[in-house]
Structure 1
Amino acid sequence: MEELKNRVAIQSQGDKSVVYEQGKGRYQCQKCQDQTGFIEKQNGLEVWVRCECVIHRRVQKLMKASEITEEFKKLGFRSFVTDEKPQIIKDSYETALEYFQAFKTIKDQRQNSIALLGQPGSGKTHLLTAISNNLINKLQVSVLYFPYVEGFNDLKDDFDQLESKLERMKNVDVLFIDDLFKPVTVQTNSGRIKKPRATEWQLEQMYAVINYRYLNHKPILVSSELTVDEIVDIDEALGTRIYQMCQEFIVLIKGDRKQLNHRLVGS
């Protein structure tokens, strides 16, 4: 009974990991008591065995550093619905899955990236987040999520973090740029048009990041409402680099938005 009192399992509210308290000690892992491993007898010999909690902790650290939101952490390939969807949606799913499956083979090549382009609400962010979550959880690859509009707004509001954030964007294993150049609707003499968000300053920072990753064969995941040609029209040097990196895994989703935009389905 005394031993039972001295060993209490406590559920952490933060990362949902189990913490164990034994006597006066507290452990995140009961098996190795936070020593990252333990001695085990194998064929009559004592061998140091690495504990599986090491991988679990690394995954937790990578996920926290990724800046993927709690809601997005739940997104995976299994939760992406393709039943009764247009073929282009199924194609985008297959392309995303094939990219993840090929990642270890292509990650150091020139064509090591993926771009899902076109129709808003078609699941581009979901699929690229599914790739990100699987890269972190299954391959222990570091990913940084950068939502284009919010990310640049944050950088503009705090220039002190600009240099360090850009360095992270350049050097992280995989950079996920969500909604690149996301258009804003503006009123002109010819009517309402969609104008890409691409200031000179944003282009300068984005080019510095993409060019570095291009030269060093570091993968990117890109979603955008724009086509390749529209991205190239904004900045040819930037757009052609993105295209060359992503050309083996690129999908343009175009068609009837009532069929492609899941927010309009059934409306």
Structure 2
Amino acid sequence: MSTTTHSSNTGQKLQAIITNLRKKSAQYSERVASEEEADYECATCKDRGIIVYRVHKDTPWELDEKKKHLVPEAMVPEDDFLSGKVCTPDKAREWKDTYSKQCECVRQKKIARLMKASGITEEFEKLVFGNFKTEGKPDMIKEAYDCAIEYFKDFENIHRKRSNSIALLGQPGSGKTHLSTAIMNNLIKKKSIHCLYFPYVEGMGNLKTDFDQLETKLDAMRKVEVLFIDDLFKPAKGQPRATEWQIEQIQSVVNYRYLNHLPLLISSELTTDELLNIDEALGSRIHQMCRDYTVIIKGDRMKLNHRLGD
């Protein structure tokens, strides 16, 4: 075969490839135009959950230490490549490498599911560290705030250890629920951790009323990644709400979480000694779990109870 004939055949093949790529590009453009008319929840990934990128053959890849895989230093959206915005058809082969990652909408949807399952109300969702007031407050309030912040920062390192929980105890109205809820909101929204809110008074009432679902609800409390028990044994007329049945249910939850190193967030008007007086086995487990992150707020109620001070 002559050199001229060989060159001619090569040129024809290249032209065929270019023609085919142009045809695919035109078809893709038509599809994109059609898709743009569709109503997507996420315009970025078009509800696919994955974003695909094209990477040029000469692009360096580097190791992402956190994700433990290689990531290209530069990339372009697959949609832009297929629509001809990145290169001419004859350069398409140089962009055959691909890289894909999960769309941010997947994380946002998971967070929405976790928030819905947490039992947190819309009002409680607004309770964050940023709107907790410490200015002009007694040192105990600042200490509780600092402890809550420290606990959240330490969470990833401690959550499987024995002391993996936090207890904010004492004065009503001092912000214990606010700070514990702020921890919970941050764990859900920043770390995608499944948390469950259990308001002691209402929760125990619901457990007793819906007795058929008692074991199912207790099992959820035992096994959720993080459980927040708010106002544990909240006193009524000066006496802790701690009947034998109530202690038994709380004990079954705490024992399971204690043995399986599952974190608790505890708020209570009772001190550690008062929890021990109700049931020493239960109180000592809570103390051991919260040993490194416990603040007891006691003093002048007019200064410590923000509802009275404001």
The answer to whether the aligner puts 1:128 opposite 2:180 as a matched pair is yes
Residue 28 of structure 1 corresponds to 41
Instruction: Compare the two structures and name the one with the higher strand fraction.
Output: 1
Relative to its length, the structure with more helix (as a share) is: 2
- Cα distance in 2 for partners of 1:60, 1:161 equals 25
**3-state DSSP of counterpart to 1:218:** coil
Tell me by how many angstroms 1:31 deviates.
1.0
Which residue does 2:289 correspond to in 1?
Answer: 245
Identity %: 58
Match of 1:16 in 2: none
Give a deviation string over 1:27-80, Cα, whole Å, max 9, x none: 221111111112211233222221111111111111110001110000100100
Residue 156 (structure 1) aligns with: 208
Find the structure with the greater CA-based Rg: 2
The alignment partner of 1:222 has SS state of strand
Amino acid at match of 1:139: K
Which of residues 239, 255, 260 in structure 2 aligns to 1:211? 255
Task: Report how far residue 22 of structure 1 moved.
Answer: 5.0
2:64 corresponds to 1:64: no
Deviations 1:127-159 (A, max 9, x none): 000000000000011110000000011111111
The answer for unaligned runs of 5 or more in structure 2 is: 1-29, 57-94
Distance across 2 between alignment mates of 1:104 and 1:130:
16
Deviation by residue 1:70-109 (Cα, 9 ceiling, x = unmatched):
1000010010000000000000000000000000000000
Write out aligned runs for 1:1-267 (5 A): 22-23=36-37, 25-43=38-56, 44=95, 45-185=97-237, 194-266=238-310
Aligned to 2:309, the other structure's residue is in SS state coil
Could you tell me how far apart the structure 2 residues matched to 1:48 and 1:123 are?
Answer: 44
Number of aligned positions between the proteins: 240
CA RMSD, 1 decimal: 1.5
Distance in 2, matches of 1:88 and 1:30, equals: 48
Distance (whole Å) between structure 2 residues aligned to residue 95 and residue 38 of structure 1: 40
Runs of 4+ aligned residues of structure 1 deviating over 6 Å after TM superposition are none
Q: Distance in 2 between matches of 1:154 and 1:113?
A: 25
Greater relative contact order structure (CA < 8 Å, 6+ sep):
1
Displacement of 1:233 after TM fit? 0.6
| Amino acid in the other structure paired with 1:164 | T
Aligned to 1:264, what secondary structure does the other structure show?
helix
Using the TM superposition, give the Cα deviation of residue 161 of structure 1 relative to its aligned residue in structure 2, in angstroms.
1.8
AA aligned to 1:144 is L
Moved more, 46-55 or 114-123: 46-55
